[in-house]
Structure 1
Amino acid sequence: MTPLSSQSRPIRVSLAIALMGAAVAHAHFQELIPSTDIVDAASGNALTLEMRFTHPMEGGPLMAMGEPVQVGVLSPGGREDLKSSLREQVIDGKGTYRLDYRIKQPGDYVFYLEPAPYWEQAERAMIVHYTKVVVDAFGAEEGWDSDVGLPVEIEPLVRPYGLWAGNLFQGIVKRDGKPVPFAEVEVEWRNDGSITPPADPYITQVIKADANGVFSYAMPRAGWWGFAALLEGDEPMKNPDGEQVPVELGALIWIYTREMR
């Protein structure tokens, strides 16, 4: 395998040749899914956001989430800490989180999540996926491209709501506020059970950003799409056994598309 730069290489531990035929480790995605991406008079001003760590195209399994480090929203009213609104819910024996939020005024609401680091034994790495999703409220359509200021982040170049299936989404992969050249981006559709991937490469789409950190992807089906730019952490982190191990940093954004009918 050709080595990638340390800025854009996702952390994957190679299996020994003797383990030929072993299952491929599929992509992890931190989900941050609102009950709607567009709030209007018909939907009302109440939102529920679900937080799960899983394999969205495969429909699971769930990985247990620890208590998030931070969760919040950038809105017309400024930055709001929502951690006190978190509610843990156990699904299939695994911890997940949710929160209820009430929209206060028209504008775009950029919800964001920093989960607790997750120890992935198979990859011998800690995983931290900084995740965000944008909800438009009452047609204001302002603020959707605001950066949260996360260590790694995707800045949308296309308004991330009001999209049809087949539309092209573009974003800039950033680290410490600066574009990451040639970053690798994994893409998965949140499967509703209607699609069975015919082979492993269909589960996770893989694209690379250009020299300016810009990537593009045309979403072929209606539903939620996750974009995850995976970068290597600068510093190792202790795993649950106290060992210093590499860190996979993920910059994630979720986008919803609808069929044109």
Structure 2
Amino acid sequence: MKTLLSAAAAAVALPAIAYAHFLLEYTTDTMIEKPGDVPVKLIFWHPFENGHVMDLEKPQEFYVIHNGEKTDLLDTLEPIRFTGGENEGAAFKGSVPVKRSGDYVLVTVPQPYYEESEDIYIQQLTKAFLNRNELPTDWMNPVGLATEIIPLNKPTNIIAGSTFTGRVLADGQPVSGAEIEIEYMAAEPDMESSAASAPKVSPMPGGAVVAISDDNGYFSFGVPKAGYWGFAALGSGPATEHEGKELSQDAVIWIRAWDLE
């Protein structure tokens, strides 16, 4: 508890970024009905307020895990330009082969991104989830990243108005006192035009929504609205330096919430 309170106090003392950087692994749907190749777009963006698009280099790794087996998807990636509400930036489109029933865990290990305004590098190790035929196979398992968030609720099937709980790990061990920024995908990418849709809601007046992990690495969040939600554990990874500058190695996860009808 002492560690948690110290981390929380430090987070309050530090100057806050108004809105969060988030690497997206965007698919139109998370529940896949028919077998085939599912289009995906990788975009480094501020989707809550349809803000600045950051140029994304070709990732170090891009793969999918299904039934515990890893399939490399780097060869599916093609460079594109994505247009947000403020600017245009480099992004990628690719595809995920979804055939058999079960979970498909998308994983991206990007190149570190230099954020000039903060004079630091950012590397967001990102996971997103697809499922076919409602069979649970992989969503609850670590994938072995340097840092990652393990979902404790099925990430493709969260009920809006319920809670989501995750656990932050680094080198397989829980991270206490991690600052987790929470992002709603208020604007979504259009798969045909490579441009952003109009935001569905306005961003929070107080800036980024933040949670702090407890002594065992757990955090929970009440999900107020249907749609895509992202969680980024800032600086939770073991790597802290890149090319002589500070590196924030973040764990990112995306979930999908639904309204009861």
TM-score normalised to the size of structure 1?
0.85
Structure (1 or 2) with the larger CA radius of gyration: 1
> By how many angstroms is 1:197 displaced?
3.0
2:177 maps to 1:177: no
CA contact (8 A) 2:102 2:134 kept: yes
How far does the alpha carbon of each residue in 1:124-158 deviate from its partner, in whole angstroms, 9 at most, with x for none? 10000000011111221221112111101001111
Gaps of 5+ in 1: 16-23, 239-243
Q: RMSD over aligned Cα, in angstroms?
A: 2.3
> By how many angstroms is 1:51 displaced?
0.8
2:94 maps to 1:91: no
AA partner of residue 118 (structure 1): Y
Aligned mates of 2:248, 2:25 — CA distance in 1: 18
CA contact (8 A) 2:21 2:44 kept: yes
Report the 3-state secondary structure (helix = DSSP H, G, I; strand = E; otherwise coil) of the residue aligned with 1:31. strand
CA contact (8 A) 1:184 1:230 kept: yes
Identity %: 30
> By how many angstroms is 1:13 displaced?
7.9
2:7 maps to 1:4: yes
Aligned mates of 1:214, 1:166 — CA distance in 2: 19
Total equivalences in the alignment: 240
CA contact (8 A) 1:64 1:95 kept: yes
> By how many angstroms is 1:162 displaced?
1.6
Aligned mates of 2:58, 2:217 — CA distance in 1: 31
CA contact (8 A) 1:155 1:171 kept: yes
Report the 3-state secondary structure (helix = DSSP H, G, I; strand = E; otherwise coil) of the residue aligned with 1:246. strand
**Match for 1:28 among 21, 24, 47?**
21
Equivalent residue, structure 1, for 2:66:
75
AA partner of residue 201 (structure 2): I
2:230 maps to 1:236: no
Aligned residue runs from structure 1 range 93-242, under 5 A = 93-192=88-187, 193-197=199-203, 199=205, 201=206, 203-231=207-235, 234-238=239-243
Give the direction of change, closer, same or farther, for the CA distance of 1:94–1:215 in structure 2 (3 Å limit): same
Equivalent residue, structure 2, for 1:19:
none
Indicate the larger mover: 226-235 or 51-60.
226-235
How far does the alpha carbon of each residue in 1:190-239 deviate from its partner, in whole angstroms, 9 at most, with x for none? 0131212361x2x421011111000000110111000000116544211x
Give the direction of change, closer, same or farther, for the CA distance of 1:207–1:88 in structure 2 (3 Å limit): same
CA contact (8 A) 2:115 2:121 kept: yes
How far does the alpha carbon of each residue in 1:103-131 deviate from its partner, in whole angstroms, 9 at most, with x for none? 12111111100111100011110000000
CA contact (8 A) 2:43 2:82 kept: no
Report the 3-state secondary structure (helix = DSSP H, G, I; strand = E; otherwise coil) of the residue aligned with 1:129. strand
Gaps of 5+ in 2: 188-198
2:58 maps to 1:58: no
How far does the alpha carbon of each residue in 1:161-195 deviate from its partner, in whole angstroms, 9 at most, with x for none? 12221121101100001100121111010013121
